[in-house]
Amino acid sequence: MLKIAFFITIITIFVFVDLIPALRRRNIRYAAAFLAFSCLALSICILTELGVKIPSPAKPIKTAVDALLRR
Amino acid sequence: MFRKRKRRTSIKPYRAGRFAGYRQGSPGAGGPEAGAPEAGGPEAGSPETGSPGTGSLTRSLEDNIALFRNIFQQDDTLTLRELDVPGFGKACLVMIDGMTDSDVVNDNIIQPVLMSGRVPVREPEDVGQPKVGEQLKAGGQPEVRGQLEVGGQLAVGGPPEGSRLPEDFKEGRAAWFQKCIIAAKAVSRSSDVSSLCQAVIDGDTVWLLENEPEGLIIDSKGWKTRAIDEPKTETVVMGPREGFNESLIMNLTLIRRRIKTPNLKFEFMLIGRRSRTRVCICYLKEIAKESNLRELRNRLEKIDIDGILSSSYLRELIMDSPYTPFDLTGTTERPDIVSANLLEGRLAVLVDGSPCAMMVPFLFVEYFQANDDYYTNFYFGSLNRILRILGFLFTISIPGLYLSLVTFHHEMVPSSLLMSIYAARQGLPFPTVIELIVMLLLFEILRESGTRLPAFMGQALSIVGALVIGQAAVEARLVSAPTVIVSATAGITELVIPRIKFPSIMIRVLLLLMSSLLGLYGFLFGLIGLLLHLVELRSFGVPYLQGIMSFKKQDLKDTVFRGPWWTMRTRPRNIAREGEWVRQQKGSGGTGK
Amino acid sequence: MPRQKEILSNWSGISLLGMFMMGTSIITMAGKDAGMDVLLALPMAAVANILLAFMYTRILTLYPGKSMMDLQEMIFGKLSKLFYLLTVWIALHVATMTLILFGEFIQVVSLPETPRYFICGFIAALAIWLVKDGLEVMGRWAGFAFPVFLLIITGVSLLSIEDIRLDTLGPFLSKGLHPLLTGTFPLIALGLAFFTEVFNHLGNSRKTFRVFLFGILLTTFSLFFVYLRNISVLGMSFTQSLYFPSYAAVGIINIGNFLQRIEVAVSVNFILVGFIRLSICLYVASKGISRLFGFQDHRAITAPVAFLVMAFTLFAFRNIVELSEWVNSTYPYYRVPFLFFLPLVTWVAGEIKARKDRRKATLPPAL
């Protein structure tokens, strides 16, 4: 839970620094990107906190590279 | 909810106008009109604009006097002196008591005016003769027509020899008075009520004539000022002891006396809707950067505030980064420092009524420079500078370092020291971080209460501060002795550079908090953040950290070290105008280096 | 209001390059699998780096002031988005690796109870701040921090002179050329490709190659010294078994029972250089993403990108063992298509386009 709280804190800080000025400037595209990225990050955080094992991209890459180089 | 704060630099219809030529310097020209707000319109005369009146004078003296009485009603310092000038009719002097110099009003205005009417007709060819006032000042005895005892002294009566008839003056009688009678150094004419009122407020005397739609503005400013003495905040061991006082003109004189070149320029502006404070930009024309000057004028002109009481008001209004705790402009009360800055190509801003001059651009190294460095031996000056830098580093880092070493990284402390620290901490109720914060807070409270305390209470403060908080708290086992030592060291080293006090308090607390979270790593992150903040700052476009950690030989000569004068051949980079960096030719001085 | 163009001084460029290249090797000793031969691998890698620098310089100077992404847009048009995507992917990946290394390092060497994301959060926040301030501030920051870094390296190495024993070195090339080649490959700084987005801001574009060269030589020299010290102080087999050999090597220093336990100097150094490595990656990633979405300013997108990197650190590598295995065995090969072939294709296409443009310029206008 601490992890999620920490993430939300950091994101909130930048909501004030980045998102709100963007909204004020009517820069909707940017605001949407901000929200999308932040939500993605936050959902990853919540998933790991819930105990879901997200597969790391490192593993398939590793097998692929191994297969390619050490046939 | 998140409404953006209104920019302080928003442009309003009224802006502080620039003086198109200071009245005392160029009589008749410009005058206060240039500085006055655009009169007329619904705003004029309203309390918001601070402009005292509107419209222009009428031909009737009665009406004009009534107008002034009306504008200045309930202001009992307004003095109206009604005269009956022989041969011309009624007249009236309008002035404010206390703002004018009585001697000037009596001897140079009232007396010549009263005498002027007793003159027989004169031949026009006598024009070349000096005027009476000049003759009096020169001590000469002009041909006496009528004599009058004034103040126990034989004063010369009658109009001067060379004065022409009022009928010769096509511009009218006011011009005759202006040019031939009144013996003041600056006299101008105006019929605009608001500028006349402003002149009265500024300390000038306004001279109204019967049947004349123009008034004369006669320079008669004079009031008591503080004597020139050494500033209490900036003492010096060896070096000039003059300091600024509250009079702008006096301060400018102090600068002028140090740099005697016509290239030394003083530009006046009026800032403040109500206070209408005179602000002066000083610079050396051939050295100062044109772009900086333009930028400074621009920023000052954008200021729209009701009152300026000190140059510190301006400082915060024109800073490049408004939120930083660091100073982005230099401040001093000493004319020698201002002169040295002008010679380096900086610009100075002086404000009437404040002894503090403001200088731009200001770099971070200047916190550590003192004028004493330049007046003493250069080894000693360099040593003192290094001590100041160390003092700054100590005061920001000691509490944070102590906290992280004691709570996170015991292994780094030598074991004997660790043992004694732990022995001192036996049985203490609070964690180290709370102890440190409380002790630092107490130190700041002691410091702040000592600053404005009358001297007779100081004793009590020091006894309570030193004995009760220092000794008794340790003996009562409320705080540990090392904590007291650490916070006291941080507090004392803070005083090495009084000017950087506030930023160092803030940085110290931030570093302390970061250390309490992540130990030395938090401390390091804090330092990274500090460096980042310093790097992103600029003062008038010059990087704030310029000169620190530079490898260029010329840059090192006047930053961390104070090089001997014969090595400082160039001005600091980026501050003076391009191509004006050499201040000393090779081979200057006895060393021939 | 468009910001004025940011200009990097040469020293800022060198500092950024040096700190980026030393980013992780300074603490993990990349290429240590080669054994003793790593000392020979360093100069070999330097030669390869200089060759790479030729290519990157060429990309930057074909159209002065244009970065690689600008060039790709000029050449490939719509297709360039694919290139951006690949660049963003590798930049995010490197950023994640660096951030995890930060967290793991601090957690392993001194704060075992502090959660990794907490440490990463602070560093990421600082990196966001730095990247949002722009390249010029980044360069000046590096310009201040790099001398401190070099000073610490020199000072610490001087202090460990007592412990350096050159007779522990050797034998070299005892197992043939193969270990030398496998040791050289991870040391080749393909990450220099990121600087094709940075050095287009250099004040004097004609000195681009000199900045590359000086940075590479300075880095190689410093790394050589650090590697030599670590190997001779710790011995080869001990060095290979450690995740952070520099930390251990400096920990041995003990001068007069007073100057001891100065490992923290190594931590300081690693944090300084790693911070710049992270910031450069974040810069490139946010620049690529803002191009993908067609934003004018990368500053606005920096923070969300950093959140994403922080989220990746939560699952990409669980601990230093996984990370180390990946960095040593897979990463050196995995990065090649992104950081070598991508610039290569851009360069070749750019050369062709530049030729065409030049011919068009010299030809008289069509009759």
Are the beta carbons of C311 and A3 separated by less than 8 Å?
Answer: no
pLDDT at B280: 94
Are the beta carbons of A14 and C303 separated by less than 8 Å?
Answer: yes
Q: For chain B, list residues with pLDDT below 70.
A: 1-54, 117-171, 549-556, 587-593
The answer, for A24 touching chain B at a CB cutoff of 8 Å, is yes
Q: Are strands B89-96 and B538-539 parallel, antiparallel or unpaired?
A: unpaired
Whole-number Å distance between alpha carbons of B68 and B88: 22
Mutation site for C-interface testing, chosen from B363, B528, B531, B537 by largest number of C Cβ within 10 Å: B528
Who contacts B115 (Cβ-Cβ below 8 Å, separation ≥6)? B146, B148, B156, B157, B158, B159
Residues in chain B with CB shorter than 8 Å from the CB of A13 are: none
Q: Mind listing the pLDDT tens digit for each residue in C165-187?
A: 888 887 888 888 888 888 888 88
Asked, as a colleague might, if the bond just before B325 is cis with ω within 30 of 0, I would say no
Find the CATH number of the domain harbouring C280: 1.20.1740.10
Mutation site for C-interface testing, chosen from A28, A34, A65 by largest number of C Cβ within 10 Å: A65
Helix C342-362 and helix C68-76, axial crossing angle in degrees, nearest 10: 70
Against chain C, the chains showing at least 3 CB pairs within 8 Å are A, B
> Which residue in chain A is spatially nearest to B3 when comparing CA positions?
A24
Mean pLDDT over each residue of chain C, to the nearest integer: 89
What is the number of alpha carbons within 13 Å of residue B390 lying toward its C-beta? 7
Give C257's pLDDT tier (boundaries 50, 70, 90).
confident
pLDDT at B537: 92
Q: Mind listing the pLDDT tens digit for each residue in C126-140?
A: 999 999 999 999 999
In Å, how far are B401, C50, C67, C190 from C59, measured between CA atoms? 47, 14, 8, 15
Who contacts C367 (Cβ-Cβ below 8 Å, separation ≥6)? none
Q: Which of A33, A57, A68 sits opposite C304 (nearest CB)?
A: A33
Against chain B, the chains showing at least 3 CB pairs within 8 Å are A, C
Q: Domain residues of chain A, as ranges?
A: 2-69
Whole-number Å distance between alpha carbons of C234 and B17: 74
Give C348's pLDDT tier (boundaries 50, 70, 90).
very high
Whole-number Å distance between alpha carbons of B490 and B528: 20
3-state helix, strand and coil shares in percent for chain A, rounded to the nearest 5: 80, 0, 20
Q: In angstroms, what separates the C-alpha of A9 from chain C's closest C-alpha?
A: 10
- Please tell me which residue, A59 or B39, carries the higher pLDDT value: A59
Against chain A, the chains showing at least 3 CB pairs within 8 Å are B, C
Mutation site for C-interface testing, chosen from A1, A2, A3 by largest number of C Cβ within 10 Å: A3
The number of distinct structural domains making up chain C is: 1
Environment class of B266 (CB within 10 Å of its CB; exposed 0-12, middle 13-18, buried 19+): middle
Are the beta carbons of B528 and C126 separated by less than 8 Å?
Answer: yes
Residue with tokens 């597969």: A55
Alpha helices in B302-452 (DSSP H): 311-318, 335-343, 371-375, 378-407, 415-424, 432-451
Are the beta carbons of B521 and C119 separated by less than 8 Å?
Answer: yes
Report which of C278, C303, C243, C343 is spatially closest to residue C93, judged by C-alpha positions. C278
Who contacts C152 (Cβ-Cβ below 8 Å, separation ≥6)? C265, C268, C269
Helix C116-133 and helix C135-159, axial crossing angle in degrees, nearest 10: 130
Are the beta carbons of B522 and C271 separated by less than 8 Å?
Answer: no
Whole-number Å distance between alpha carbons of B374 and B391: 20
Query: CA B339, B344, B349 angle in degrees (round to 5)?
Result: 55
Mutation site for A-interface testing, chosen from C315, C325, C328 by largest number of A Cβ within 10 Å: C315
**Interface subset of B 538-567, CB within 8 angstroms of C:** 543, 545, 548-549, 551
Give C295's pLDDT tier (boundaries 50, 70, 90).
confident
Q: Give the 3-state secondary structure of residue C1.
A: coil
Whole-number Å distance between alpha carbons of B541 and B557: 22
Residues in chain C with CB shorter than 8 Å from the CB of A17 are: 303
Whole-number Å distance between alpha carbons of A59 and B116: 108
Q: Mind listing the pLDDT tens digit for each residue in A39-49?
A: 999 999 999 98
Q: In angstroms, what separates the C-alpha of C133 from chain B's closest C-alpha?
A: 7
The answer, for B531 touching chain C at a CB cutoff of 8 Å, is yes
> Which residue in chain A is spatially nearest to C126 when comparing CA positions?
A10
Q: Mind listing the pLDDT tens digit for each residue in B38-60?
A: 333 333 344 444 445 667 888 88
pLDDT at B63: 87
The answer, for A26 touching chain B at a CB cutoff of 8 Å, is no
pLDDT at B13: 38
- C42 found inside a domain: yes
> Residue B421 in contact with residue B406, Cβ under 8 Å?
yes
CB count, 10 Å around CB of B436?
Answer: 27
Report which of B223, B320, B312, B305 is spatially closest to residue B270, judged by C-alpha positions. B305
- C1 found inside a domain: no
Environment class of B454 (CB within 10 Å of its CB; exposed 0-12, middle 13-18, buried 19+): exposed
Give C199's pLDDT tier (boundaries 50, 70, 90).
very high
Please give the structure tokens belonging to residue C153: 């390296």
Q: Mind listing the pLDDT tens digit for each residue in B4-19?
A: 444 444 433 333 333 3
Chains B, C: CB pairs < 8 Å: 65
pLDDT at B157: 44
Who contacts A31 (Cβ-Cβ below 8 Å, separation ≥6)? A19, A22, A23
* Domain range for C250: 10-359
pLDDT at C101: 93
Q: In angstroms, what separates the C-alpha of B80 from chain C's closest C-alpha?
A: 56
- C364 found inside a domain: no
Are the beta carbons of C301 and A30 separated by less than 8 Å?
Answer: yes
Whole-number Å distance between alpha carbons of B358 and B348: 6
What is the number of alpha carbons within 13 Å of residue B185 lying toward its C-beta? 9
Helix C299-315 and helix C116-133, axial crossing angle in degrees, nearest 10: 160
> Residue B293 in contact with residue B300, Cβ under 8 Å?
no
Residues in chain B with CB shorter than 8 Å from the CB of C147 are: 549, 551
Q: Which of B6-15, B559-568, C62-71, C245-254 has the lowest mean pLDDT?
A: B6-15
Alpha helices in chain C (DSSP H): 10-22, 25-28, 38-62, 68-76, 80-109, 116-133, 135-159, 178-187, 208-234, 236-241, 245-251, 263-293, 299-315, 320-325, 331-334, 336, 342-362
Whole-number Å distance between alpha carbons of B176 and B169: 6
Residues in chain A with CB shorter than 8 Å from the CB of C301 are: 30, 33-34, 37
The answer, for C359 touching chain B at a CB cutoff of 8 Å, is no
Q: Domain residues of chain B, as ranges?
A: 31-36+49-120+129-218, 248-362, 395-542
pLDDT at B117: 62
> Which residue in chain A is spatially nearest to C115 when comparing CA positions?
A3
Helix C299-315 and helix C263-293, axial crossing angle in degrees, nearest 10: 120
> Which residue in chain A is spatially nearest to C330 when comparing CA positions?
A62
